[in-house]
Chains A and B, each alone.
Chain A
Amino acid sequence: MSIRSDSAALPLTQKSTSDPIKSRRLSRRRLQKGLLSTALFVVVVAAWEATSRYWIDPLWISSPRLVAERLWTGMSDGSLALNTWITVQEALIGLIIGTLAGVIAGLLLARVKPVAELLDPYILGAYSLPRIALAPFFVLWLGIGLASKVVLVVSVVFFVVLFNVRQGIETVDSDLTDAMKSMGANQWEITRQVVIPTVAPWIVSAVKIGVGMALVSAVVGEMVGSTGGLGWYVTRSLNQFDMTGGVTALLVMAAIAMLLYYFLAAFERRLFAWRGDGHSGTAPM
């Protein structure tokens, strides 16, 4: 039969790669945005400096100059650097343990539905509890060292990750699992190839939220009882009416949180390159 059409000549679809004009326009907009946010920063700092110079005593609000000086001396003599390191350590260790535990618990609970249903009220109860209020308990039980803060951070991060993982699992495409099964994949292969990649954006978005929560928990833990860390530094500074010390520590905390967040966002973009140009945002909370 000669009526057959040439099936090998399908058109190759070419996805338009970055258009040079468009990308130039884009980078220009980015430059404008950068300039604008720098200008805003300068205005805020200038307003603060002016306020502390003409209206309010720096005793109450410190001043940019004093903070910059303290930042320099505190970081070079190690007093601030050491306390920063303590807080970062607590937050990061807690964040990592909490995330791993949340992911594993989420995956396991999805496998054993009856157990999940049994545990749900308890999980919800623990989640609804303001876990920051547990800080004094953990300090009493585990002492004023690293352990009590790490456990506090874990208790906060764990539930955020757990909830996100469980919600993410609901979005697993049943066609994908069916396809894997039809190819002879076992449960572990399905988890590895389908479930974990589906849930990954949910985990990353939970961790992005978790970064801030981990720092808050570590600092609150330090305020309740410790011998070091940025929380301890704030408390001690304010007890001595050293406003500059307190403000400097706050700014360091903000800087750490922002750094971690941007790092995660960059990691996220790399990790989810497969999404194409459609989405680049994070999974909903």
Chain B
Amino acid sequence: MAQTFSTRIGDTNSQSFRAPSAAISVRNLTVSYAAQVAHKEAEGSVAVDNVSFDVQPGEFVAIVGPSGCGKSTILKALANLITPSRGEVNVSHEERGRPRIGFVFQSDALLPWKTALKNVELAVRLAGEPNHVASVRATQLMTELGLGDSCHKYPAQLSGGMRKRVSLARALAHSPSVFLMDEPFGALDALTRIQVGNFCLDIFDRARQSVVFVTHDIDEAVAMSDRVLVMSDRPGRLIAEFKVDLPRPRDYHETRFVDGFTDLQQVVWKALTTGGRNVHSV
């Protein structure tokens, strides 16, 4: 099923539109950088323009779009790292207080002066656990993720794939309610990307947290997600949405040869290249 966002949704910042079941809801999100980065020129300063979408609990949503279209900005708004100029963002959480967010960056964003284990431990501690719990939980996670041998190595001593796994372990460490992933495999070579991609899929199959996954790789988006959102060039708008009904569990690479994959990949590609015009149902 495909749906096009040919008409703009009206300004609705007076009411909260969050469906009770949604894990993440974004309403009329607009981010313009002029207010935040003074030296940017006024023109083209709108990074995200009136974007609305929901993510259901356990759903894996991929956002694709040309580079610089504001995909990452949406994630930053979801993680509360930037304040929206307009609209609202809601991330559900069971406990009181802030939602817990597992953010995975394209760069691994591991603290280079801490060993792999200490990096994971820090995440557990920041989630409010006492030190001894943090150490036990971090060691357990590292072992579970097959990183037992790398505990006492510094990020600089690990390969790109291992670092990525450590940053996944860190994201898992504070039991997040949602995962936000910003082109997490962008810096990996093709083979490692397949391995880490499968590793990731495996984790999400078991954990069933909601995921928002930003990428510019259409194949990756279709292979991993339940739904693909397509964004236009800057200023970023949502121009199309596709449901991915491929069976799970999936394999990061082999899924590309499953019936229906190529069709989906084609329509997403078309939506992306035509900027959302002439998009028909799948």
B158 to A182, Cβ gap below 8 A? no
Given A194-B111, A278-B156: A8 touches B146 (CB 8 Å cut-off): yes
B251 to A13, Cβ gap below 8 A? no
Separation in Å of the A145 CB from the closest CB of chain B? 41
A227 located at the interface, meaning its Cβ lies under 8 Å from any Cβ of chain B in the complex: no
Given A7-B202, A10-B195, A194-B111: A276 touches B251 (CB 8 Å cut-off): no
Q: Could you tell me how many residues of chain B have their Cβ less than 8 Å away from some Cβ of chain A?
A: 54
A7 to B198, Cβ gap below 8 A? yes
A: contact size bracket: 20 to 34
Separation in Å of the B82 CB from the closest CB of chain A? 10
Residues of chain B from 105 to 142 with CB closer than 8 A to chain A in the complex: 105, 107, 109, 111-115, 122-123, 126-128
Contact partners of B231 in chain A: CB under 8 A: none
Contact partners of A1 in chain B: CB under 8 A: 247-251
Q: Which of A68-76, A102-110, A121-129, A173-181 contacts B (4 or more CB under 8 A)?
A: A173-181
B253 located at the interface, meaning its Cβ lies under 8 Å from any Cβ of chain A in the complex: yes
A25 located at the interface, meaning its Cβ lies under 8 Å from any Cβ of chain B in the complex: no
Given A10-B146, A189-B126, A193-B122: A182 touches B198 (CB 8 Å cut-off): no
Q: How far is the CA of A275 from the CA of B10 in the complex (A)?
A: 52
A184 to B98, Cβ gap below 8 A? yes
Name the contact of A276 in the complex, choosing from B80, B128, B157 (C-beta under 8 A).
B157
Contact partners of B100 in chain A: CB under 8 A: 184
A183 located at the interface, meaning its Cβ lies under 8 Å from any Cβ of chain B in the complex: yes
A197 located at the interface, meaning its Cβ lies under 8 Å from any Cβ of chain B in the complex: yes
Residues of chain B from 161 to 194 with CB closer than 8 A to chain A in the complex: 161-162, 165, 170, 174, 180, 194
Could you show 6 A-B contacts with beta carbons less than 8 Å apart?
Answer: A5-B254, A13-B161, A15-B153, A181-B81, A182-B81, A183-B101
Which residues of B approach A to under 8 Å, CB–CB? 76, 79-81, 98, 100-103, 105, 107, 109, 111-115, 122-123, 126-128, 146, 149-150, 153-159, 161-162, 165, 170, 174, 180, 194-196, 198-199, 201-202, 247-251, 253-255, 258
